[in-house]
A and B are shown apart, each in its own frame.
Chain A
Amino acid sequence: MAAQQDNGLTVQPARTAAQPGAATPGWPTSADQRIWTALGAVFIYLRSMAVFLVIWHLGSRWVGNAILLPSPIDSAEALVELFADGEIFDNVTASLSRLGVSFGLAIVLGVSLGFAMGMNRTIYAMVDPMVELLRPISGIAWIPLGMFILGVGEALPTAIMFYGAFFPIVINTVVGVQAVNPGLVQAARVLGVSQRAIVRHVIWPAALPNILVGARLGAGAGWMAMVAAELIGAPSGLGFAIEWYRELLMTPKVLAFVFIIGLLGYLLDRLLRGLQRRLTPWAQAGGGLT
């Protein structure tokens, strides 16, 4: 594939079309090429999905027990049914509203604490050991204790999801605040700007890319903690529904809910990624510190 140029150098033909997602921005791709790249990506996606579905189907035939492993067709039917009778929407709403509350709280408290720790050494020295101690403990570990204290209801899953989302947000905020280029703070100081304006207009935007990374990680962790918390600690929600249908031995519905959890988690991450691109265009463009 190597082409010989008249200067004697050997060059590889550009192969951007073969790597979707890795297409360099600003690289001279024509509209045609872009469409082919997109189509190629869709094709690869469909192909791997098809392979996965075929293996699943063969596996379920081999197991031969619809309770242990239902076929993809049964599962799809169950999914359609859940949409048709509207059952899915109640559970999705319950779970998403818990996520909204816990994630919102985690953002507000996590970012505040992260700023305090990032900007004040004393606070950092005081709080950091506690954060480091609690952080490695999975939120799930707190569920039994949480059931004693909070009982089964809204509070328990919300608290567990908050716990999962909180630490990634705190830690990434601290990193973001501490990593602010001191040159930029100096540049603001020599313009005669107040400390408040520096926090608002220099430290905040400089830390924002890291904060958003923390938010994405936090949302993911909260979403994962949700299922576990709802399995035992809630009267509604996606995790609750999984446990409900497991007890009824209706495995296709269980799988349908698992699929919904995955899909929503994915969409949530896409949403936050879009927000990241929207809020911090300079960081996406690889613009360094200047």
Chain B
Amino acid sequence: METLEKMTPKICLGGITKEYIAPRTGQRTLAIADVSLDVFQGEFLCIVGPSGCGKSTILNMIAGLARPSRGELVMDGKPIRDPGAERGVVFQDYALFPWKTVRENIEFGPRYRTAGPLSASERDRIVRHYIDLVSLTGAENKYPHELSGGMRQRCAFARALANEPEVLLMDEPFAALDAQTRLILQEELLRIWGEELPRAARKTVVFITHGIDEAVYLADRVAVMSNNPGHIKTIMTVDLPRPRRESLRATAEFQKLADAIWQLIRHEAYEATIDRH
């Protein structure tokens, strides 16, 4: 991983602070304070941390859906101000358009985006490719409410991919799924991400999760966050070989990494849980 540090980062968060101000009461919530983070081309970065530590806040700012109160937010040397097709997002609740079929959902970006929309035939090719990639063949003409949770997840994923973003931002994409489906989709995610490809050809991924196992299994690096106010505690490098297989989870190395992360956040995880009850 030494090579990573020498590269210029794809996305650069420099001393970011985000304060929410409630519109009516004017009450301030300091969501994150002074977060600095570099995300490199082709890396798979996971963010873990207790509930409410500001993970979604960070992701939304990278997506351009929210602006930092202070600090710098840069992608490829240009400041991020608005959402853009080069940054795809998969939301936790999928946010599929209920009035559009699977195919139309996936086609949405390539069809209506302002930057270089595709012609009908190109779109057709791309959509078919991604429908196959996420194994939704045969469900193209179904509406989201006719899909299972796992299928909706795949559809949301394909919608983000079909827009061919350089960076993929995922906010707890598997949280609503059952354990088996989650395991299967984790493996598929790595395959689709391009585990076998050279780093330069991979997409850059920022992936938020509550699952420490999930983070270690997927990530090149895991950013561990902490509460009050939200900040990054440590960044762990996961030096496990790729492509990764299910059997990896049983190895001592994997367990050691997972345990180390758990020790970092367990105290706050307990507190956050108790707070909420």
Q: Could you say which residues of chain A place their CB within 8 Å of the CB of B96?
A: 187, 290
Q: Could you say which residues of chain A place their CB within 8 Å of the CB of B115?
A: 192
CA distance A204 to B6 in the complex (A): 48
User: Which residue on A lies nearest to B155, using beta carbons?
Assistant: A290
Q: A184-B95, A205-B97, A290-B95 are in contact. Are A191 and B144 (CB under 8 A)?
A: no
Q: For chain A residues 206-225, which have a beta carbon within 8 Å of chain B?
A: 206, 208
Q: For chain B residues 55-94, which have a beta carbon within 8 Å of chain A?
A: 63-65, 82-89, 91, 93-94
**Which interface residue of A187, A191, A282, A290 has the most chain B CB atoms within 10 A?**
A191
Question: A192: which of B93, B99, B113, B159 is its contact (CB, 8 Å)?
Answer: B113
Question: A290: which of B84, B89, B152 is its contact (CB, 8 Å)?
Answer: B152
- A201 in the interface, Cβ–Cβ < 8 Å? yes
B20 to chain A, nearest CB (A): 15
16 extra A-B contacts, CB within 8 A, seeds A191-B112, A192-B114, A288-B145: A181-B95, A184-B97, A186-B95, A189-B83, A191-B88, A191-B163, A192-B115, A194-B112, A201-B108, A206-B99, A208-B99, A280-B99, A282-B99, A288-B98, A290-B95, A290-B144
- B109 in the interface, Cβ–Cβ < 8 Å? yes
Q: For chain B residues 185-219, which have a beta carbon within 8 Å of chain A?
A: none
B167 to chain A, nearest CB (A): 11
CA distance A188 to B85 in the complex (A): 10
CA distance A184 to B98 in the complex (A): 9
| A202 contacts B83, C-beta separation under 8 Å | no
Question: B163: which of A192, A197, A288 is its contact (CB, 8 Å)?
Answer: A192
Q: Could you say which residues of chain B place their CB within 8 Å of the CB of A188?
A: 97, 108, 112
Question: B85: which of A184, A187, A192, A290 is its contact (CB, 8 Å)?
Answer: A192
| B112 contacts A201, C-beta separation under 8 Å | yes
User: Which residue on B lies nearest to A280, using beta carbons?
Assistant: B99
- A285 in the interface, Cβ–Cβ < 8 Å? yes
User: Which residue on A lies nearest to B60, using beta carbons?
Assistant: A186
Q: For chain B, what secondary structure do more than half of its interface residues adopt (helix, strand, loop), or is it mixed?
A: loop
| A193 contacts B95, C-beta separation under 8 Å | no
Q: Could you say which residues of chain A place their CB within 8 Å of the CB of B93?
A: 183, 289-290
User: Which residue on B lies nearest to A192, using beta carbons?
Assistant: B85
Q: A193-B113, A282-B143, A288-B145 are in contact. Are A187 and B98 (CB under 8 A)?
A: no
| A191 contacts B108, C-beta separation under 8 Å | yes
CA distance A11 to B141 in the complex (A): 37
Q: Could you say which residues of chain A place their CB within 8 Å of the CB of B94?
A: 290
User: Which residue on A lies nearest to B108, using beta carbons?
Assistant: A191
Q: Could you say which residues of chain A place their CB within 8 Å of the CB of B109?
A: 191-193
- A281 in the interface, Cβ–Cβ < 8 Å? yes
User: Which residue on B lies nearest to A183, using beta carbons?
Assistant: B95
Q: A183-B95, A282-B99, A290-B98 are in contact. Are A190 and B145 (CB under 8 A)?
A: no
- A286 in the interface, Cβ–Cβ < 8 Å? yes
CA distance A283 to B98 in the complex (A): 8
A199 to chain B, nearest CB (A): 11
B185 to chain A, nearest CB (A): 16
- A8 in the interface, Cβ–Cβ < 8 Å? no
Q: Could you say which residues of chain B place their CB within 8 Å of the CB of A289?
A: 93, 95, 98
Q: Could you say which residues of chain B place their CB within 8 Å of the CB of A181?
A: 95
Closest 7 CB pairs of A and B: A287-B145, A192-B85, A191-B109, A187-B95, A197-B112, A192-B113, A205-B99
| B112 contacts A282, C-beta separation under 8 Å | no
A233 to chain B, nearest CB (A): 42
| A190 contacts B83, C-beta separation under 8 Å | yes
Q: Could you say which residues of chain B place their CB within 8 Å of the CB of A201?
A: 97, 108, 112
Q: Could you say which residues of chain A place their CB within 8 Å of the CB of B87?
A: 190
User: Which residue on A lies nearest to B147, using beta carbons?
Assistant: A290
19 contacts between A and B (CB under 8 A): A183-B95, A184-B97, A186-B65, A186-B91, A187-B97, A188-B97, A189-B64, A190-B63, A190-B88, A191-B108, A192-B84, A192-B86, A193-B112, A201-B97, A205-B97, A282-B144, A287-B144, A288-B145, A290-B93
Q: A282-B143, A287-B144, A290-B152 are in contact. Are A193 and B108 (CB under 8 A)?
A: yes
